Structure 1
Amino acid sequence: MDTQRRGNYDSGEDFVLEYGELRFTFNERDFQERCEQAAMKLGFVGDRLGDAELEDLVNLAVNGEIPDPTSALGEHVNDCWPELVGPADRSLVHWLRRLVFRSAWLDQRVKEGELDVAFDVERHTFAYIQPDRDGEPIELAPEPSWGRVAYTPR
């Protein structure tokens, strides 16, 4: 008997994100990659991160702060903290978590056949499309840019 609820993304048990009745569980690598991708999408980092930087980014996403940085990224976050924190829906932490959640939600929709992925030749990007609506792409809410306080490795 399958008791898994529709919509619950699962790649492991290392990290858990819950929103409403949705419960998404991630293995460590999946969660790290999604955090890194979110930080890149937000313009906070420009390239792949090293292990220590990735550890600090994950700590930021999970704990909402980096009390003991292990990398220059963690130190940068603490140095720029007043510019990164703000109203709950406008902080870097909020947007990291939101994009990690959104990416898993979209992947689950693809897995369940509700969405497909298509390459947009004109924009050279991938888009999520709705197969039951003649391939109509879905519109994702825009995310803010954190480029003004972006981390650049020393």
Structure 2
Amino acid sequence: MDQIRRGNYDSGQDYVLEYGDLRFTFNERDFSERVEQAAHKLGFVGNHLEETELEDLVNLTVNGEVVDPASGLGEHVNDCWPDLVGPADRSLVHWLRRLVFRSAWLDQRVKEGELDVVFDDATHTFGYVQPERDREPIELSPEPSWRRVAYGPRP
């Protein structure tokens, strides 16, 4: 069986996420956009975030806490902290990091030709298929919902 040497995702050097042998580096804009997308996917935010709100969300993702909130989002995180922290594999921070990493991993697999992006007309959603396996779809593990402690209008 051939060993596949997978490349590491790289859009800049502002942020780094590592898992096993993989090292993904991000520029500030890419990382911030991925963090916001992850928070939307988790149901933690509903609308587009203001600059200071996004700053607090990025700080939460990077540092695991918001020490000096710059916005209402940071204050909300601190007010709801017991509901957000939980066990390590169930915390909001864990899931934000996991979804940022997963999105970059998927992008890298598409770039390397291991996956293709497809659109499902029935559900109006995008998914991924493996071109070398008769376009077999890949299943992504489901993520928990944080809607009950969401910031701002309910998503």
Paired amino acid for 2:62: V
Residue 111, structure 1, aligned to residue 147, structure 2: no
Q: 1:37 matched to which residue of 2? A: 37
Query: How does the TM-score come out when normalised to structure 1?
Result: 0.95
CA-based RMSD: 0.9
- Mapping of residues 63-102 of structure 1, within 5 Å: 63-102=63-102
Count of residue correspondences: 149
How many angstroms apart in 1 are the aligned matches of 2:118 and 2:24? 24
Q: Is the 8 A contact 1:129 1:138 kept in 2?
A: yes
Which deviates more, 131-140 or 108-117? 131-140
* 1:133 Cα offset (Å): 1.4
The 3-state SS of whatever aligns with 2:127 is strand
Q: 1:144 matched to which residue of 2? A: 144
The 3-state SS of whatever aligns with 1:66 is coil
The 3-state SS of whatever aligns with 2:11 is coil
* 1:62 Cα offset (Å): 0.1
Residue 122, structure 1, aligned to residue 117, structure 2: no
Q: Is the 8 A contact 1:116 1:129 kept in 2?
A: yes
How many angstroms apart in 2 are the aligned matches of 1:133 and 1:122? 23
Divergent runs of 4+, >6 A: none
Q: Which structure 2 residue ranges, 5 or more long, are not aligned?
A: none
How many angstroms apart in 1 are the aligned matches of 2:69 and 2:114? 41
How many angstroms apart in 2 are the aligned matches of 1:14 and 1:6? 22
Residue 15, structure 1, aligned to residue 4, structure 2: no
How many angstroms apart in 2 are the aligned matches of 1:107 and 1:74? 29
* 1:40 Cα offset (Å): 0.2
How many angstroms apart in 2 are the aligned matches of 1:112 and 1:48? 31
Paired amino acid for 1:73: L
Q: 2:57 matched to which residue of 1? A: 57
Which deviates more, 129-138 or 86-95? 129-138
Percent of aligned positions that are identical: 81
Q: 1:132 matched to which residue of 2? A: 132
* 1:7 Cα offset (Å): 2.8
Paired amino acid for 1:55: E
